[in-house]
């Protein structure tokens, strides 16, 4: 691998097995902490993985829906908690079949072009599943939830979405991978959320018209059983190939000092939005 994926060192922080005791708000506070740390040279390039149970992550634009509370009430009745993230995009579904991955890079003096960050993640996912005879495309899948120009899809069905977060000369390229389970069922959940939260009201922002049939999980598309552990193994193999040193390490002392502040910012943002 060349380009951004080629790093002298890759540190892996694997929180994919933390389960229900690890909340999504902590994840976004952690990624901000890592951006600040990696960006200031206090840590090497870092890959962080995590899984959250029954969580709907909303984008800032989602909080402007005219009947937002009705949509949130529906999600909570289905057993999902809701939070608002600090990176771009719209509503996405996280559950035990969805693996989240952040690649945190230090910005070079010239900076990292936004498309270069997306391309690096796309390349990584292609390499991870290169043994399957399926082309992984990067283009917007109309009808998907949280659509974007770097939706990852196979045969026109989206299984992943990518976003970016930039802070303190650090760049976090974040992806959610629908590993197993039903992509269409997840999309149905988001479709009903928008139906209740928007109703027939005119809005300045164009929210997606969800078509559940255009979304699927990797297991569905590849026609094989696939677990979070399987995907983690593939990820570690690729990172090992693209660095002189791959090691697992927790937050360092510098990051442990930073984390409470960044975590509190995420909490405060969500509390402000909840009070609106």
Give the chain's mean pLDDT: 92
> pLDDT at residue 60 above 80?
yes
> pLDDT at residue 20 above 80?
no
Q: How confident is the model at residue 9 (pLDDT cuts 50, 70, 90)?
A: very high
- Residues noted as catalytic: 146
- Per-residue model confidence as pLDDT tens digits over 221-230: 999 999 999 9
Give me the pLDDT at residue 86, please: 67
98: phi > 0 → left, psi -120 to 50 → alpha, else beta; which? beta
Q: How confident is the model at residue 80 (pLDDT cuts 50, 70, 90)?
A: very high
> pLDDT at residue 1 above 50?
no
Higher pLDDT, 111 or 102: 102
Q: Please give the tally of structural domains in the chain.
A: 1
Paired strand residues for 10 = 246
For residue 73, the domain's CATH number is 3.30.930.10
- Per-residue model confidence as pLDDT tens digits over 139-194: 999 999 999 999 999 999 999 999 998 888 999 999 999 999 999 999 999 999 99
From 6-15, 100-109, 173-182, 230-239, the region with the lowest mean pLDDT:
100-109
Q: Percent of the chain at pLDDT above 90? A: 79
* pTM exceeds 0.85, yes or no: yes
Averaged pLDDT, 107-120: 83
> pLDDT at residue 136 above 50?
yes
CB 85 within 8 A of CB 57: yes
Averaged pLDDT, 221-241: 96
> pLDDT at residue 196 above 70?
yes
Tell me the C-alpha to C-alpha distance, in Å, between residue 199 and each of 191, 196, 207, 275: 11, 5, 11, 22
Higher pLDDT, 25 or 79: 79
CB 39 within 8 A of CB 170: yes
Higher pLDDT, 46 or 19: 46
Distance CA 103, CA 21 (A): 23
Give me the pLDDT at residue 127, please: 96
Distance CA 263, CA 108 (A): 26
Domain of 33, in residue numbers: 3-274
> pLDDT at residue 24 above 90?
no
Give me the pLDDT at residue 17, please: 86
Give me the pLDDT at residue 114, please: 86
């Amino acid at each position: 691998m060349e380009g951004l994926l080629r790093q002298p060192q890759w540190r892996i922080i694997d929180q994919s097995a933390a389960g229900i005791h690890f909340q999504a708000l902590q994840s976004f506070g952690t990624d901000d902490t890592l951006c600040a740390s990696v960006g200031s040279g206090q840590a090497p390039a870092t890959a962080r993985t995590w899984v959250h149970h029954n969580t709907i992550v909303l984008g800032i634009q989602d909080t402007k829906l005219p009947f937002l509370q009705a949509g949130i009430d529906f999600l909570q009745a289905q057993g999902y908690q809701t939070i608002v993230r600090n990176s771009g995009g719209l509503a996405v579904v996280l559950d035990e079949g969805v693996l989240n991955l952040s690649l945190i890079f230090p910005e070079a003096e010239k900076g990292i072009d936004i498309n270069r960050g997306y391309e690096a993640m796309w390349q990584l996912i292609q390499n991870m599943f290169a043994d399957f005879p399926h082309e992984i495309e990067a283009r917007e899948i109309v009808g998907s939830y949280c659509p974007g120009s770097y939706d990852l899809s196979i045969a026109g069905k989206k299984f992943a979405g990518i976003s970016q977060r930039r802070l303190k000369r650090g760049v976090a390229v974040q992806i959610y991978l629908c590993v197993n389970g039903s992509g269409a069922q997840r999309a149905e959940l988001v479709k009903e959320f928008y139906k209740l939260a928007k109703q027939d009201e005119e809005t300045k922002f164009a929210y997606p018209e969800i078509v559940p049939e255009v979304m699927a999980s990797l297991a569905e598309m590849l026609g094989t059983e696939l677990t979070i552990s399987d995907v983690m193994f593939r990820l570690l193999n690729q990172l090992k190939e693209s660095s002189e040193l791959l090691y697992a390490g927790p937050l360092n002392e510098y990051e442990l000092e930073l984390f409470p502040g960044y975590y509190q910012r995420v909490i405060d943002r969500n509390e402000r939005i909840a009070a609106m």
